[in-house]
Amino acid sequence: MIQTASKNVAFSTSALKVVLSLLVAIVCLGIAAALYWSFVLSKPLTSSPKNTARTTDDEEVTKMVLYSNLTRWQAEWAVRKVNINYGEQVDKLAAMMDLPANYIKALILLECSGNLPAASRFEPEVLRKLIAVQQGKLPAYNGICQNDLEGKSLRELKEMATSWGPLQIMGYHALRLGIKIEELYGDNSLFYGMVWVKNNYGHLLARKAYYHAFHFHNTGRLYPFNSPPLTYDPYYVGNGLYYMLILGDQSLLSMHSLDTP
């Protein structure tokens, strides 16, 4: 009886050790998983986009490392949103204007998060510069001269210093488009936004130089080769390309390297 009891105690002790070992392993795995996902879902803004190789012809980048701070589920949710709110209209206008629909959809996500209606964004610094041009203290601003602003009220100047519509086109661009500012935030806002895109950097889209196109839309300049991007968000270009990838533009895989969470 004593031997049997001793064996039972020994067996129970061994079983307990096995159970405790399994519990410790499960806890360790849980901690490791938690640390991994905390990194994935909150990747710090420490890396800026950069290029790693260039060709000798046309100064074109053939392989770039572009950083995105979007997780896949965030990008997929955003893509569903833009397709619901703008998909049909973008597809129709893009076909009519010979523009890449996936680029326009990605741009809408960058500029207004795919919201319908799109919110406007007033830029006080732009207003100050427009006032300076109107008063003759600044010769010009982005091609806008004093003659263009003659007789404009402060309210009109504020509208010109505001970005409108799903592509967030600045109000003063209405002058070169030959339209009233109201057209930039009315029912035709997407149409005129895409007209502006076509007129100003459609040649970049025809070459599929999407990194240049995104950077130009946000800054008015091409993507810099030897310095960080000039976009307000260092992930602007990388996020745009990631949206396009989720939208189905698999050709990007052969053009760029995307570092995503």
In the chain, count H helices and then E strands: 12, 8
If one compares 64 and 220, the residue with the highest pLDDT of the two is: 220
Read off the pLDDT band of 13 (50, 70, 90).
Answer: low
d(CA 154, CA 20): 74
Read off the pLDDT band of 43 (50, 70, 90).
Answer: very low
d(CA 149, CA 144): 8
> Does pLDDT of 48 surpass 60?
no
Read off the pLDDT band of 33 (50, 70, 90).
Answer: low
Read off the pLDDT band of 42 (50, 70, 90).
Answer: very low
pLDDT digits (tens, 9 = 90+) for 83-125: 999 999 999 999 999 999 999 999 999 999 999 999 999 999 9
Specify the residue for token string 């989720």.
246
- pLDDT computed for residue 116 by the predictor: 95
pTM for the model stands at 0.73
d(CA 110, CA 127): 23
User: For the chain, what is the mean pLDDT?
Assistant: 81
- pLDDT computed for residue 226 by the predictor: 83
> Does pLDDT of 202 surpass 50?
yes
Task: Report CA 127 to chain centroid distance, whole Å.
Answer: 25
Contacts of 78 (CB under 8 A, 6+ apart): 70, 109, 113, 114, 243
If one compares 141 and 11, the residue with the highest pLDDT of the two is: 141
3-state secondary structure of 105: helix
> Does pLDDT of 239 surpass 60?
yes
If one compares 55 and 206, the residue with the highest pLDDT of the two is: 206
